Structure 1
Amino acid sequence: MLGFREVSNHAGFNADQIADKFNLNLDLAERDNQFVLMEDFVKMLEYAARLKNIPDLGLQMSPYHDLSILGPLSLVISNLPTVGQAVVYAAEHIDVMSPTILIETYPDKTENTVSKSHTWISISIDLDKPAPHTQALDVCLGNLHRFLKILAGNHYQLAKVMVPHGSRSIAPVYEQFFEAPVFFEQDHAALLLANSTFEGRLDKPNTELSQIVDLHIQTHFRNIRGSFTARTAQVIRKVLGRASCNKSEVAKLLAIHPRTLQRHLLDENTNFDEIKTRILCQEALRYLTQSQIPMAQLASILGFSEQATLVRFCKRNFGKSPTEIRKNAESLDM
């Protein structure tokens, strides 16, 4: 929540009054080891951004953050030998600070060929309940960019940026922030970095300190990334919209038998259909409230056979048609 008060004061409104609406105490932002629900944080930022017409609220908050917001992870990350190792560690352990945040890297593909010179690093927020989260995602993406730039120094080479929402009207603001071309209404939020960025060595790493703190993290924090619910959700997101987005194919990608996957999910009090429906709700709501993608195209992206199926899905899960959801979101813009 750091920076919310400062941005609010600059815009001329009372941050604490808005935070109170969502049962959040902004004073907690100044204290170590304090946690709040991501859902409440997301709702607060979306409400403030729309109410006060600050579409880049998340980006404005990012400069008020430094690596210390990652708690003990920051000590390990900043004391590893290379940027690449820091990224890998962050991706594997970010759930220590927030189980809703996911960091991934994947190769750049250009014209069906894999580029050997650039790599994508993406960041996403996985909420239990579907809700627009443009501003919180911008905070995360802005921090990812700034922290990597600090770690890599002169080795930092950002080629382009992808964001999943539609903010072309303020494209210059985004491009000034990232100092790179920004592409809107993409599948997810990600940075395309030259591989030389990951090869850069950190300044005076203390590997002994890094190992000591890592041992503390492994001993005192439970890593939930290994849960079958989280792993299943991760695969579904990757294959959503494809014919392979079913229990059998997802189980195959997880290298286990479908019945074994079903048993593990039942042990975690869920099932494949519940997880897939939750992700479909999140993605449908995101596209409907943060982009102008045509309905027929959206139905295809989400894996529905036709637009009418998308309509029935939205009415069943949201109580409104896709058109009504989009109109309601537009009516909230100030």
Structure 2
Amino acid sequence: MAEYLPSNDENLPVHDTGLPIRASVLRGLPALVGGDRGASLLAAYGFDEAKIVEGNSFISFRQVERVLEAVADRFALPDLGLRMAAQQDLHVVGALAIAMENARTMGEAISCSSRYLFAYSPAISVEEIEDPLGNPAVAGLRYATRTMTKASPQLLDYGIGIVHRMLVLVNAGAPYGLQSVQLPHSRVAKDSAYRAFFGAAVTFDCPSAVLRIPSRLASMPVSGGNDLLRAIAIDYLETHFGHKDVPISDLVTAILSEQPGFDGPDLAKVARLLSLHPRSLQRSLSQEGMTFTGVVDRVRRSQALDLITTTNLPFSQIAARLGMREQSSFTRAVRRWFDTSPSKLRRAAQTPKGQFIRVR
């Protein structure tokens, strides 16, 4: 399992710890190493394959790094990171995929990835830079991790490989003119494996992980884009992620939302899933004007509204699903949240015209 911070931690900021990444990052790993063997290894590292397939949950970035290195070593797959990137489709990055594939130009697609990739994981970033070799006709796309420790070779190969694959897919599956690739680690697989994947020369032991692309790529049009879909995707991304970092409260909400029936919210468990010390998690929530109890209450309110208005479950069962031991506690909570009783709320939802529900 994950290596957590010591109990005497007092002042470590969020970026001094492991950060989360969407579970879809490990999608397809078992198939690469023989199905059951890969699934067993994932289970040994504490990963639930069903959640990986579903893809909306967050897992530990640090643990992803470890499992990739372990699989590469155990199954003699030095090019595992490249293989993982090669099998992913664009939609591994969720709503960002819709914005990119419906961009008007390649430059707009690249800008979207730079601005919103952290919605996939706050641990990674893509930045447009000047060409590291000083060629004015070439620009650089630098892939980086925001963790304090140096990223492993497999994770770097996978990460920059995903960025390369996104550009190929946005460009209708065609080469986009990649000039060369720079990687900060020593070569771990054969040169032919890197050349076959990137279709360009790769150099190692460089300062950063960089794709060297033609400057003119930015003005190249993206074919088949839809303005409406692009606008919807950008609006969604901007509404939810139009700021520097994914709010920790959003990550906590995502974790709790996938655990119906949590019997007593467990701050320590959620902190472990985020690779944070509990006190670091509490401080981060406080900086956003939130508390762990407040996030739990918000999740319960949302789940209660859904279960009351869209199911016919007895209220006692709904109370149990929300982790409330007594139905009376559930009734009081519903009155506090919606200023009405559970039964009236259900009747209102079943009335054709409905009624105004005041959400506190």
TM-score (norm 2): 0.58
Q: Deviations over 1:20-39 (max 9, x none)?
A: 22211122232142221211
8 Å CA contact 1:9–1:15 kept in 2: the answer is yes
How far is 1:131 from its partner? 5.9
Is 1:108 equivalent to 2:118 in the alignment? no
How far is 1:4 from its partner? 0.7
Q: Deviations over 1:250-290 (max 9, x none)?
A: xxxxxxxxxxxxxxx9x969xxxxxxxxxxxxxxxxxxxxx
Percent identical among aligned pairs is 23
Q: 1:43 matched to which residue of 2?
A: 66
Unpaired runs of 5+ in structure 2? Answer: 1-25, 248-283, 289-360
Size of the aligned set, in residue pairs, is 225
Q: Which moved more, 1:55-64 or 1:207-216?
A: 207-216
Question: Distance in 1 between the 2:52 and 2:41 partners?
Answer: 15
Is 1:184 equivalent to 2:209 in the alignment? no
Unpaired runs of 5+ in structure 1? Answer: 228-264, 270-334
Distance 1:222 1:18, change over 3 A: farther
How far is 1:155 from its partner? 6.4
8 Å CA contact 1:155–1:196 kept in 2: the answer is no
Question: Distance in 1 between the 2:229 and 2:214 partners?
Answer: 29
Distance 1:169 1:86, change over 3 A: closer
Question: Distance in 1 between the 2:242 and 2:44 partners?
Answer: 32
Distance 1:226 1:8, change over 3 A: closer
How far is 1:198 from its partner? 2.2
Distance 1:35 1:168, change over 3 A: closer
| Secondary structure of residue in 2 paired with 1:14 | helix
| Secondary structure of residue in 2 paired with 1:115 | coil
| Secondary structure of residue in 2 paired with 1:116 | coil
Question: Distance in 1 between the 2:64 and 2:132 partners?
Answer: 34
Question: Distance in 2 between the 1:75 and 1:28 partners?
Answer: 22
8 Å CA contact 2:33–2:75 kept in 1: the answer is no
8 Å CA contact 1:106–1:120 kept in 2: the answer is yes
8 Å CA contact 1:152–1:200 kept in 2: the answer is no
- The structure whose residues are more often helix, as a share, is 1
Q: 2:314 matched to which residue of 1?
A: none
How far is 1:79 from its partner? 0.9
Q: Deviations over 1:58-80 (max 9, x none)?
A: 11111221111111111111111
Question: Distance in 2 between the 1:109 and 1:149 partners?
Answer: 22
8 Å CA contact 2:78–2:188 kept in 1: the answer is no
For 2:198, the aligned partner's letter is: F
For 2:146, the aligned partner's letter is: D
| Secondary structure of residue in 2 paired with 1:203 | coil
8 Å CA contact 1:2–1:64 kept in 2: the answer is no
Q: Map 1:198-213 to 2 at 5 A.
A: 198-213=218-233
Out of 39, 42, 48, the position equivalent to 1:16 is 39
Question: Distance in 2 between the 1:74 and 1:169 partners?
Answer: 29
Distance 1:168 1:23, change over 3 A: closer
Is 1:224 equivalent to 2:219 in the alignment? no
Distance 1:155 1:201, change over 3 A: farther
| Secondary structure of residue in 2 paired with 1:63 | helix
Out of 97, 110, 124, the position equivalent to 2:120 is 97
Q: Deviations over 1:236-257 (max 9, x none)?
A: xxxxxxxxxxxxxxxxxxxxxx
Q: Map 1:69-218 to 2 at 5 A.
A: 69-110=92-133, 114-127=134-147, 130=149, 132-153=151-172, 154=174, 156-167=176-187, 170-218=190-238
Distance 1:82 1:222, change over 3 A: closer
8 Å CA contact 1:167–1:184 kept in 2: the answer is yes
Q: Which moved more, 1:199-208 or 1:215-224?
A: 215-224
Question: Distance in 2 between the 1:155 and 1:61 partners?
Answer: 19
Is 1:5 equivalent to 2:12 in the alignment? no
TM-score (norm 1): 0.62
How far is 1:205 from its partner? 1.4
Q: 1:233 matched to which residue of 2?
A: none
Question: Distance in 1 between the 2:99 and 2:54 partners?
Answer: 20
Question: Distance in 2 between the 1:197 and 1:26 partners?
Answer: 38
Question: Distance in 1 between the 2:194 and 2:202 partners?
Answer: 7
Distance 1:44 1:148, change over 3 A: same
How far is 1:169 from its partner? 5.6
Distance 1:194 1:138, change over 3 A: same
Q: Deviations over 1:278-327 (max 9, x none)?
A: xxxxxxxxxxxxxxxxxxxxxxxxxxxxxxxxxxxxxxxxxxxxxxxxxx
Structure 1 segments (4+ residues) deviating >6 Å:
none
- Report the structure number with the largest CA radius of gyration: 2
CA RMSD of aligned residues (A): 2.5
For 1:87, the aligned partner's letter is: I
